Amino acid sequence: MQELYEKLKKYSIEDSIKIEESDRQYKALKKMWDNLAEKDKYLWLILANSIICYQLSGKWEDYWEEFGAYFGPPPNPLLIKEGGLVEYITKSLWDFIKQSKNNKRFIDTKINRLEKLRPFLEEFVTKTEYYYNNMEELRDKLALTMKQKKDAKTVVFAIKMFSYGARNVFNKLIYFPENISIPIDSRLDNLFQKYKDTPPLTPPYKGGGQDQLIKKFYFDLSKKLNIPELHLDALVWVNYDELIN
């Protein structure tokens, strides 16, 4: 880990924020906010879309640009007026993913996930600013509602995208809490194998023991750099090619 720390220690949390705000996903949500006619539905759409953002058929950046373009410019496609606001949001997302170019896989499963999320959305729609100030609680509620672990990739990713949107809505930046984990993906697996202090393991990493080693590696690196894990994700993303070669 020390070698990876030495390569990243020149960066600050402010550097991470600059990288995040140059992210195509962040820019897509900013453009959506600027163009969205019904701004009161912005964060609800982002949160709900985040929990169906997996096993994509295109790049993540392309998908979020597609999402922002669909819901952003007028005339706004949110045409479903029957039922309450939660019905309004979930049915609009159903219509979106059914025609999406970048989210074609497991549509029925993803629609079921939206259904599972609905009870929490009833609460979320009245407490968006509260949850921006209490992102750990939002993570816990999402994990409980979706019956997933608190560090599940879709749960943590939902917090990240919610924060991106909340920066626009509330016009302020709140750092990610230190206790929200980085979403583990193949990049982080590869860096762990390269920089951990013992001989490399043969991927894929199976079993709770190895999973915990990877998570502890990034937890310790985050503490050493004094950069919360979700902000550390941006540094890894932009420097990955250099770090892995």
pLDDT digits (tens, 9 = 90+) for 143-186: 999 999 999 999 999 999 999 999 999 999 999 999 999 988 88
Report which secondary-structure segment, H or E, holds 181: none
pLDDT in tens, 44-53: 999 999 999 9
Give pLDDT, residue 209.
59
pTM to 2 decimals?
0.90
Catalytic amino acids? 153, 185
pLDDT score of 204 more than 50: no
What gap in Å lies between CA 170 and CA 36, rounded to an integer?
A: 15
Taking the C-alpha atoms of residue 224 and residue 119, their distance in angstroms, rounded to an integer, is 39
Tens-place pLDDT, residues 63-105: 999 999 998 865 455 544 555 777 877 888 988 999 999 999 9
What domains lie within the chain, and their CATH numbers?
2-17+178-244 (1.10.1670.10), 24-170 (1.10.340.30)
Average pLDDT over residues 10-28: 96
Whether the bond between 228 and the residue before it is cis, its omega within 30 degrees of 0, is no
Token pair in block for residue 122: 């009833």
Closest residue by Cα to residue 7 from 200, 176, 182, 194: 194
pLDDT tier, 125 (very low <50, low <70, confident <90, very high otherwise): confident
Looking at residue 78, its pLDDT comes to 53
Burial class (CB in 10 A: 0-12, 13-18, 19+), 146: middle
What is the spatial distance between Cα 223 and Cα 62, in angstroms, rounded to a whole number? 32
Give the per-residue pLDDT at 30.
96
The pLDDT of residue 36 is above 50 = yes
Say whether 183 sits in a helix, a strand or coil.
coil
Distance of alpha carbon 160 from alpha carbon 142, whole angstroms: 13
* Percent helix, percent strand, percent coil in the chain, to nearest 5: 65, 0, 35
Between these two residues, 154 and 125, which has the higher pLDDT value? Answer: 154
The two structure tokens encoding residue 142? 């999402």
